[in-house]
Every structure is written in C-alpha cells, then in structure tokens.
Structure 1
C-alpha cells in the first residue's frame, strides 16, 4: 500500500515540479 502511495506521489511530484530530483529523492528514501 505504502509503496503504491509513494509511487503515485512520485509521479505527481515529477509532473508538478517537472524535476527528476524529486523522483530520485523518493527512490533514495525507499532504499534508505
């Protein structure tokens, strides 16, 4: 559930901000 939510927010953040750094931050948080 959380993974799907984070994935969804990652897409929204990337679209809204138009930056890849947001997706990278989410990916880093998942790995950490």
Structure 2
C-alpha cells in the first residue's frame, strides 16, 4: 500500500469522491 502511493492516490481520489457522496447521502437519510 505504501509502496505505490502514486497508483493508490489516483485510485483513492476517485474512490474517495464516490465514497464521500455515498456516506453523505446515508448520513442525510439517517439524520432526516
């Protein structure tokens, strides 16, 4: 994981964006 930070960083960026949106939607639903 720490050996290829460039590859992980690129994949994490896309994953984080989708993950954050999913988490935000779930959090909003739970709060409502």
* Interval containing the TM-score (normalised by the shorter chain): 0.5 to 0.7
Q: Once superposed, which parts of structure 1, at least 4 consecutive aligned residues long, lie more than 4 Å away?
A: none
The answer for unaligned runs of 5 or more in structure 1 is: 19-32
The answer for unaligned runs of 5 or more in structure 2 is: 1-14
Question: Radius of gyration: which is bigger?
Answer: 2
- Tell me the TM-score normalised to structure 2 length: 0.52
- Tell me the TM-score normalised to structure 1 length: 0.52
* Greater length-normalized contact order (CA 8 Å, ≥ 6 residues apart): 1
* Aligned length, in residue pairs: 18
